[in-house]
């Protein structure tokens, strides 16, 4: 069911420092910061030949990233995102297998303007998984 790795998201305590690290030290193609107020994050996308890295920084008072950074002050991998062809079919398949879909359980529009859902990390080896319809 799952297809390509769409991106790996890394929560960072200092976005400017993380941008400089990827751009200057690693020589990556780093995009401009973008605010996603409805998701409580400021994001920077880094394009790699085979996937993307999404740098995540808290935006606003109740950002979902703030708690993660308080537990992981140096930052860390927050989630990985796999592509699926049909988010509704993915949702139904996973629900039937007992996997917990976070939030309302319904797909919503994610940071790339496409339908996404998130799966509980306790059901997937301690990894928060995002599925994105492409």
List contacts with Co ion (CB under 5 A).
9, 81, 130
Q: How far is the CB of 73 from Co ion (least distance, A)?
A: 21
For 5, residues 6+ apart whose C-beta sits below 8 A from its C-beta are: 50, 51, 80, 81, 82, 83
- Catalytic, 36? Answer no
Q: Which of 36, 38, 130, 132 is catalytic?
A: 130
**Residue number, 19 or 65, with CB nearest to Co ion:** 65
Q: How far is the CB of 66 from Co ion (least distance, A)?
A: 16
Distances (CA, A) of 19 to 40, 53, 72, 118: 19, 11, 19, 26
Catalytic residue positions, numbered: 130
């Amino acid at each position: 069911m799952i297809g390509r790795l769409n991106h790996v998201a890394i929560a960072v305590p200092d976005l400017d420092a993380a941008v400089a690290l990827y751009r200057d030290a690693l020589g990556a193609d780093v995009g401009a910061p973008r605010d996603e107020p409805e998701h409580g994050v400021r994001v920077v996308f880094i394009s790699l030949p085979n996937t993307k890295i999404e740098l995540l920084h808290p935006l606003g008072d109740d950002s979902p990233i703030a708690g993660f950074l308080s537990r992981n002050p140096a930052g860390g991998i927050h989630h990985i995102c796999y592509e699926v062809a049909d988010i509704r079919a993915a949702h139904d398949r996973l629900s039937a297998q007992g996997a917990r879909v976070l939030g309302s359980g319904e797909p919503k529009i994610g940071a790339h303007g496409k339908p996404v859902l998130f799966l509980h990390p306790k059901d997937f080896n301690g990894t928060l998984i995002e599925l994105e319809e492409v």
